[in-house]
Structure 1
Amino acid sequence: IWEEGGMLINPLKAERVSKGSTISACFNFINSIIGSGIIGLPYAMNQAGLPLGIILLIAVGFVTDYSIVLLIRGGNLSGTSSYQSLVQNTFGFPGFMILSALQFLYPFIAMVSYNITAGDTLTKVFLRIPGVGPDHILAERHFVILLSTLLFTLPLSLYRNIEKLGKVSFLSMVLTLSILVIAVIRSATLGPQIEPTENAWSFAKWNAIQAVGVMSFAFICHHNSFLIYNSLEHPTLSNWSRVTHISVGSSLVISAAFAVAGYTTFTGYTQGDIFENYCRDDNLATFGRFCFGFSIITTFPLECFVTREVVSNVLCRRDLSKAEHAAITVLIVTMCTAISLAYDCLGRVLELNGALSATPLIFILPSACFLKLSPGHFYQGENLIPTLLIIAGLFVMITGLTSTLINPDDCSHGVEMFYCADINCRRGLACFPLRFVLTAQGLS
């Protein structure tokens, strides 16, 4: 279930929404792109190198724009009105099962990332409460994840109809923009106080392919493309192209601004969750953590609705009973919580989701459907670009997935970054020897 213009709609059943203007469609599309994935874009710059990272981010934006238009063109050629029906019409039941698996994995892994982020961000928010110290239970990420699951995400996910959550669509976007403003402010005020790492401004780094996975996760919005297209007052390909260009272009500008602001502040120290880099006594960053934590808690149930709907369509092919609905929901939420309790490296989770599910949904499937429906050879005319996208998508998927699985973790979650002690020294606050802080974090 995805929130569009205050309404909750089901992409797996392709329900038609009320007709709206181009401006309304653009707002809905931007809101579907700009989400929690933006928090990992500074980490993507760290993986790829800032200059190459910006180039790759722009490239992913252009591919996203092109593949969304291509998706609708494929729907027009096949006479279908949803991603699922397009793939099933083109590749039959095997194609439907592959798409269903990807549509399950993408929100499922996203929910794991939401829990990890909640544990990372909210613990530092609680640490600002008087009387809550590092040894307090509210500073324990496992307890915070369990608490947020039991009090918020599980009860909200158990709703069969969550129309009330549709009201947070605009609020979520406002909170995201607030986080962007905070990142820009801290880039100007905190960045000059942190010594750049060696090779911080190198053109390229070896982990660029993994960075593409994170960027793909941030930009994926194909799940509701048909729904927004059908919501247009005049759903023509030219109008859709205009909506897509405006929406993806605006999202690209916002994403690039956040990625550059975050990376230039912390350079090589940038974590998968950018809020892990800010100091605990930074009140502005604490407000940003609160905004982001609230945003992902309200987004989690929407992702859970999608995974549950996929399970329902594949296994049951009917509406779930109350008992089945509750059992499947509890199972999904429990699995996500267990994984997030056992693993806390957000950057790796974003890379995995980007390579495993987002890349085929953006690069491969739309292009494959168009090639199957379009006349002519795959290497001729307008079929050439989709062919190249399939090749690029397979390369990014295989290389990125392999690199993510074999490379060791490099996270330092829950640890105060060493430069915070140095900054406090300069401010005349609590000061610890820098060597002690570095040693405590295992840094040389």
Structure 2
Amino acid sequence: MSINADKHTDSYSEITAGDTERDETSPLLGNGSVQTRAKGASFASSVFNLMNAIMGSGILGLAYAMASTGIVGFCILLVVVSSLAAYSIHLLLKLCDQTGINSYEGLGERALQKPGKVLVGIAILIQNIGAMSSYLFILKSELPAAINSFLSSHGTGDAWYQDGRMLLILVSLCIILPLSMSPKIGFLGYTSGIAFLFMLYFAIVTVVKKWAIPCPLPHNVTTLEDTFQASNSSGTECTPKLFVISSKSAYAIPTMAFSFLCHTTILPIYCELDRPTKKRMQNVTNVSISLTLLFYLISALFGYLTFYAHVDSQLLLSYDTYLHHDIMVMTVRLAILLSVLLTVPLIQFPARKAVILLLRGDRPFSWLIHIITTLIILGVVLLMAVFVPDIREVFGVVGSTTSSCLLFVFPGIFYLKISGRPFRTFDSIGALFLVVFGLIMGIISLSVIVITMARSS
């Protein structure tokens, strides 16, 4: 399929064809001509980048989601959400090939004119700043505890390495900032590969530690009456639930939607993919989501089967309670923190890209604007993570709105507006379903969060 140039094409990620024929499997083209193009990111590097964009701190909360929905209910919801995420990416890639636009913001402008571009850019910026701030907040609160767990003696908390804010500033300046300066997302494939290994190690530890913690869980039983009650409750306490419906179940779908949100990095990864065809990028997406689904399922299942109804909303906290000085738990805690740390530069890439597109449009790439924008975004994120005491509710509201829009609503609306396909075609019906599903999920999740916040206050 011949792809014409579009004015929305990103200036520093423009894709031109190599020495391939222009057919339906041809790369994403620019200017409709054949030009020399530098070798892009490999298939494996693109898979690692996309998996790293998908997997974040959300993996820590999926065991709690399984406890709130049951094993069968969780598996059904996980497969549905992951399938809808892959399908919405399929629609975005079809629009990208049809129009030649290789940015999410550009698709928004083609579908809804200038307001669409601004709306998508703001949604991407809010979503990614919220995600980065939450990741840095996790680093601020968990990194001192992870370091203390490796120390033989417990300090008073006055040492510099026990100050979460100091550690956060240091890792931001020494690690996050240099990695975020790269103008090419393919470069981050190396760090994404390391983060992938950390997540693999986390899944292995959840399987191994299933048999290290007895059931029923020890609760400091001291009397004969307590022992009798514990033995009577062990039958139900250690029995996995297949289906669970409660008020906590309403958090499951938003948690899964947040865990599969990677749409803001799809098109940048597509642009830098070596031999970038829609089929090749769809294969990258399918492999990434399938592997992520497997890791999510393993870690959630064995985390739930270890703690059952007593699983914490952050799985690692449950292990700390019963295996406080276990070497595998300490190392996996550090691995997860490093994985979150290496994910921040990848999330920062589309946030910076959205700001530059909104403010500069199609102007040529400028290192000065690139550096200034990176410093401002990371500065805002760092200030929020350092000075905001508790940001879970704020980002819960942001995630329930922007995540559902970027994952379901926007891809469906854009396809219906741009594709020009008859309404009764399969993809048009699927796009309409995405819009309806995303709106319902967003409204319900936002309502539950607001009601919960009102009751707690």
Taking the TM superposition and a 5 Å limit, the aligned residue runs for 1:125-140 are 125-128=146-149, 129-133=151-155, 135-137=157-159, 138-140=161-163
Superposed displacement of residue 345, structure 1: 5.8
Taking the TM superposition and a 5 Å limit, the aligned residue runs for 1:189-208 are 189-190=212-213, 192=215, 194=217, 201=241, 202-208=243-249
Q: State the alpha-carbon separation in 2 of the partners of residues 327 and 84 from structure 1.
A: 21
Q: State the alpha-carbon separation in 2 of the partners of residues 158 and 225 from structure 1.
A: 19
* Long gaps (5+) in structure 1: 1-9, 412-444
Q: State the alpha-carbon separation in 2 of the partners of residues 212 and 13 from structure 1.
A: 36
Residue 394 (structure 1) aligned with residue 439 (structure 2): yes
When residues 25 and 336 of structure 1 are mapped into structure 2, their CA distance, relative to the original with a 3 A threshold, is closer
Residue 361 (structure 1) aligned with residue 402 (structure 2): no
When residues 344 and 12 of structure 1 are mapped into structure 2, their CA distance, relative to the original with a 3 A threshold, is farther
Contact 1:111–1:300, Cα closer than 8 Å, also in 2: yes
Contact 2:185–2:268, Cα closer than 8 Å, also in 1: no
* Long gaps (5+) in structure 2: 1-8, 16-37, 219-233
Q: State the alpha-carbon separation in 1 of the partners of residues 256 and 145 from structure 2.
A: 26
Q: State the alpha-carbon separation in 1 of the partners of residues 430 and 419 from structure 2.
A: 13
Contact 1:214–1:350, Cα closer than 8 Å, also in 2: no
Matched positions, count: 400
Superposed displacement of residue 299, structure 1: 2.6
Contact 1:368–1:390, Cα closer than 8 Å, also in 2: yes
Identity, % of aligned positions:
25
In structure 2, the residue matched to 1:219 is 260
Q: State the alpha-carbon separation in 1 of the partners of residues 317 and 154 from structure 2.
A: 18
1:167-214 CA-partner distances (Å, limit 9, x unpaired): 322211111111111122122322636268969735233233322122
Superposed displacement of residue 95, structure 1: 0.8
Q: State the alpha-carbon separation in 1 of the partners of residues 270 and 372 from structure 2.
A: 34
In structure 2, the residue matched to 1:186 is 209
In structure 2, the residue matched to 1:371 is 416
Superposed displacement of residue 58, structure 1: 1.1
Q: 3-state SS of the aligned residue for 2:319? A: coil
Give, as a single letter, the amino acid of the residue that structure 2 aligns with 1:60: V
Question: Which protein is bigger by CA-based radius of gyration?
Answer: 2
Contact 2:53–2:343, Cα closer than 8 Å, also in 1: no
Contact 2:404–2:441, Cα closer than 8 Å, also in 1: yes
Instruction: Select 1:41's aligned residue among 58, 62, 72.
Output: 62
Instruction: Select 1:290's aligned residue among 310, 313, 334.
Output: 334
When residues 242 and 191 of structure 1 are mapped into structure 2, their CA distance, relative to the original with a 3 A threshold, is farther
Q: State the alpha-carbon separation in 2 of the partners of residues 156 and 78 from structure 1.
A: 32
In structure 2, the residue matched to 1:247 is 288
Residue 209 (structure 1) aligned with residue 267 (structure 2): no
Contact 2:53–2:347, Cα closer than 8 Å, also in 1: no
When residues 253 and 158 of structure 1 are mapped into structure 2, their CA distance, relative to the original with a 3 A threshold, is closer
When residues 120 and 192 of structure 1 are mapped into structure 2, their CA distance, relative to the original with a 3 A threshold, is farther
Contact 1:67–1:366, Cα closer than 8 Å, also in 2: yes
When residues 140 and 51 of structure 1 are mapped into structure 2, their CA distance, relative to the original with a 3 A threshold, is farther
Q: State the alpha-carbon separation in 2 of the partners of residues 29 and 159 from structure 1.
A: 17
Give, as a single letter, the amino acid of the residue that structure 2 aligns with 1:219: F
When residues 395 and 153 of structure 1 are mapped into structure 2, their CA distance, relative to the original with a 3 A threshold, is same
What is the TM-score with the length of structure 2 in the denominator?
0.75
Q: State the alpha-carbon separation in 1 of the partners of residues 163 and 65 from structure 2.
A: 27
Instruction: Select 1:61's aligned residue among 75, 82, 85.
Output: 82
Give, as a single letter, the amino acid of the residue that structure 2 aligns with 1:373: I
Q: State the alpha-carbon separation in 2 of the partners of residues 200 and 172 from structure 1.
A: 31
Instruction: Select 1:235's aligned residue among 250, 254, 277.
Output: 277
In structure 2, the residue matched to 1:122 is 143
Give, as a single letter, the amino acid of the residue that structure 1 aligns with 2:291: S
Q: State the alpha-carbon separation in 1 of the partners of residues 249 and 347 from structure 2.
A: 28
Give, as a single letter, the amino acid of the residue that structure 2 aligns with 1:265: T
Q: 3-state SS of the aligned residue for 1:204? A: coil
Q: State the alpha-carbon separation in 2 of the partners of residues 188 and 388 from structure 1.
A: 43
In structure 2, the residue matched to 1:433 is none
Contact 2:46–2:186, Cα closer than 8 Å, also in 1: no
What is the TM-score with the length of structure 1 in the denominator?
0.77
Superposed displacement of residue 296, structure 1: 2.1
Taking the TM superposition and a 5 Å limit, the aligned residue runs for 1:154-193 are 154=177, 157=180, 166-190=189-213, 192=215
When residues 51 and 133 of structure 1 are mapped into structure 2, their CA distance, relative to the original with a 3 A threshold, is farther
In structure 2, the residue matched to 1:303 is 347
Q: State the alpha-carbon separation in 2 of the partners of residues 379 and 78 from structure 1.
A: 22
Compute the RMSD of aligned alpha carbons. 3.6
Instruction: Select 1:337's aligned residue among 379, 382, 403.
Output: 382
